[in-house]
Amino acid sequence: MIVRDRPSAIRLLLTLRGSILGDIWKPLVFSIAVAAMITLIGGRILGVKVHLDVAPFTLIGMTLAIFLGFRNNVCYDRYWEARKLWGDLAIACRNLARQASTLMALPASEIEVARGLVYRIIAIPHAMRHELRGSSPAGDLQPLVDTDTLRRVCATRSPTTALIAETARQLQSCREQGWIDPVLAPVMETQLAGMSAALAGCERIKTTPVPFAYTLLMHRTIFVYCVLVPFGLLDSCGMATPLIAAVLAYTFFGLDAVGTQIEEPFGTQPYALPLAAVCRTIEIDLRQALGETDAPPPLQPVDYVLS
């Protein structure tokens, strides 16, 4: 996620970091080159003047803008729903950790049970982040769970589900020992169910992308439009045709690229959700709730990017 203060109007006009320009410069340069070539040859192909009225391009441009707006709204809905699911996960983790720390009637000799349970809760967001990003969670989980648990969890298809199940079994063991009031056990189980629901929602977003045919149609239409529009602008704009074509190409290719970037909110690109930062925040809150003073510091943006 790009995190930076809003610059002044001039700096906002010239800022490159956080701009979509790096993703679209190739088709943008191609469109400008085509517009410049058409302008230089006077819109003639094989000696024949190609005259296209500006009206069809106006109608097509309006239609493209509407459909691009619709697609970007769909992509942003996916992005925002993913962020809400991670917010729900954070709430469930904090609630369960608080309940484990304050509602369990542990004997003095078993006080470390609550700490181990909270550490497993901390491990769940880390496992979920790696699962959604397709990476190995072993490095982040190793300081939080024992070796046997780490081995069992990493051997499963879904380490997050395995960790939630391990936590449920530990809570069941505590209830059988009489450390958890039977009335409170369903309340704690509700928090685990919330974690499972958050994982399922994120999996639904990850495995159900925007239909590729729709994305392909939009991209091809934009490309054809940007290549042909100089013929419709030449008679009215003259030598300014490449400039107007560049503005149109930047707008349409940029909107298309923005939708593509936020369509996958769990990736590692600069526009994705800062899942590592969310996991670190949960870890800090839960470890401080245990009274620890050596919790890791919050993650800071690197070159305006918070991962």
Structural domain spans, the chain: 9-289
Supply the pLDDT for residue 295: 85
Q: What pLDDT, in 10s, does the model give residues 204-254?
A: 999 998 888 888 888 899 999 999 999 888 888 889 999 999 999 999 999
Supply the pLDDT for residue 269: 87
Q: What pLDDT, in 10s, does the model give residues 170-204?
A: 999 999 888 888 888 899 999 999 999 999 999 99
Give DSSP secondary structure letters for the chain.
Answer: -B------HHHHHH--TT-SHHHHHHHHHHHHHHHHHHHHTTTEETTEE----HHHHHHHHHHHHHHHHHHHHHHHHHHHHHHHHHHHHHHHHHHHHHHHHHT----GGGTHHHHHHHHHHHHHHHHHHHHHHT---HHHHTTTS-HHHHHHHHTSS-HHHHHHHHHHHHHHHHHHTT-S-TTTHHHHHHHHHHHHHHHHHHHHHHHSPSPHHHHHHHHHHHHHHHHHHHHHHHHHHGGGHHHHHHHHHHHHHHHHHHHHHHHSTTSSSTTS--HHHHHHHHHHHHHHHTT-S-PPPPP--BTTB--
Tell me the two tokens of residue 159.
């380490």
Supply the pLDDT for residue 157: 94
Residue ranges in the chain modelled with pLDDT below 50:
none
Supply the pLDDT for residue 103: 82
